[in-house]
């Protein structure tokens, strides 16, 4: 277990949100409510799209993938956070922490890739409507979605393997509500330069690559829409991608704050707040953003609730 001053730890302590017992209970109730609302909203989207042939199109197929992703994303860390909020012991085993980090960051990568795929889908639908059906067929849309999932899981597998080989000498307290890569790097007493380079390179490729695809797609979309002479057709064209654009703005705004800043050590508490917005609020808001801006889904939900 010990080599010199290096200790191969069995568990970590997730500091979470320090405070009084009343604060912990209040946060527990808030997180539980948000988690249940996230599950309900995203499961509703999946059920509505899956049971109505009207929505058996690539756009809604990608939306189902996004809803499933949000379900898994929040489940990867919120249950552990809920346990830590009401438990005197805030420990998490080494393996559980490693797996949580792997799934949280893998699913985060998939979110970037899937949002880029959805932007490309809207680009084809608006800029090349005559060729859309033949290009974005069921096979190609399935390949894009599958590639996003596989790409996300493979991207984080390398850093996870390197992190699993780290050793730790001092405190094993993680000042966060889940196990993140930065905390592992900060706590390790072994050389982490290789891990940091791999992590930064892969993050740069995934985040910047997906952002470029999304940005270029919307540049073409906006330029195409502005050439349409009819204001009614403007509104129809923008309504098909406004929900996706809203999610993109929220997701990338939080990402830019978290990963493009000079010093993370000086703003750990602020990072927690922004991480909450990115990892809790975005999956919670996604179903409402898409349903409130989609007349067909709203009509089906109204019929469903009125018949009960």
Domains of the chain: 2-306 (1.20.1070.10)
Distance CA 16, CA 87 (A): 12
The pTM assigned to this predicted structure is 0.87
- What per-residue confidence (pLDDT) applies to 150? 97
Among 78-87, 161-170, 182-191, 273-282, where is mean pLDDT lowest? 273-282
* Mean per-residue pLDDT over the chain, rounded: 83
pLDDT digits (tens, 9 = 90+) for 59-82: 889 999 999 999 999 999 899 999
Q: Which residue has the tokens 């801006």?
A: 293
- pLDDT of amino acid 236: 66
Name the band, by pLDDT with cuts 50, 70 and 90, for residue 237: low
User: Residue 14 corresponds to which tokens in the numbers above?
Assistant: 């997730």
**4 pLDDT higher than 50:** no
The reported pLDDT for the residue numbered 105 is 92
- Average pLDDT on 122-148 reads 92
* 121/217 Cα distance (integer angstroms): 9
The least confident of 113-127, 181-195, 264-278 is 264-278
The rounded distance, in Å, linking the Cα atoms of 229 and 226 is: 8
- The residues near 300 (Cβ < 8 Å, ≥ 6 apart) are 48, 52
**Residue 107, exposed/middle/buried by CB under 10 A (0-12, 13-18, 19+)?**
buried
Lowest mean pLDDT among 4-8, 61-65, 182-186: 4-8
Structure tokens at 127: 């800029």
Provide the pLDDT for residue 273.
Answer: 72
């Amino acid at each position: 277990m010990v080599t010199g001053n290096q200790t191969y730890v069995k568990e970590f302590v997730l500091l979470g949100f320090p405070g009084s017992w009343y604060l912990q209970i209040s946060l527990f109730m808030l997180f539980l409510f948000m988690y249940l609302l996230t599950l309900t909203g995203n499961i509703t989207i999946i059920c509505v799209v899956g049971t109505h042939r009207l929505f058996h199109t690539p756009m809604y197929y990608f939306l189902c993938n996004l809803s499933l992703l949000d379900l898994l994303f929040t489940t990867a860390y919120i249950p552990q956070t809920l346990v830590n909020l009401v438990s005197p012991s805030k420990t998490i085993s080494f393996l559980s922490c490693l797996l949580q980090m792997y799934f949280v960051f893998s699913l985060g990568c998939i979110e970037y890739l899937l949002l880029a795929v959805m932007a490309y889908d809207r680009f084809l639908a608006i800029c090349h409507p005559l060729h859309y059906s033949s290009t974005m067929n069921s096979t190609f849309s399935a390949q894009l979605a599958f590639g996003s999932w596989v790409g996300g899981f493979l991207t984080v597998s390398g850093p996870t393997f390197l992190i699993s080989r780290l050793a730790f000498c001092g405190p094993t307290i993680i000042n966060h509500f889940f196990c993140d890569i930065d905390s592992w790097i900060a706590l390790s007493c072994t050389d982490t330069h290789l891990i940091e380079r791999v992590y930064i390179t892969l993050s740069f490729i995934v985040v910047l690559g997906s952002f470029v695809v999304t940005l270029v797609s919307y540049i073409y979309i906006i330029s195409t829409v502005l050439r349409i002479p009819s204001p009614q057709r403007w509104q129809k064209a923008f309504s098909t991608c406004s929900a996706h654009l809203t999610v993109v703005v929220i997701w990338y705004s939080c990402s830019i704050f978290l990963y493009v800043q000079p010093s993370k050590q000086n703003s750990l508490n602020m990072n927690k707040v922004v991480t909450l917005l990115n990892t809790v609020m975005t999956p919670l808001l996604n179903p409402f953003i898409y349903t409130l801006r989609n007349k067909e889904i709203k009509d089906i939900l109204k019929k469903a609730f009125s018949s009960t």
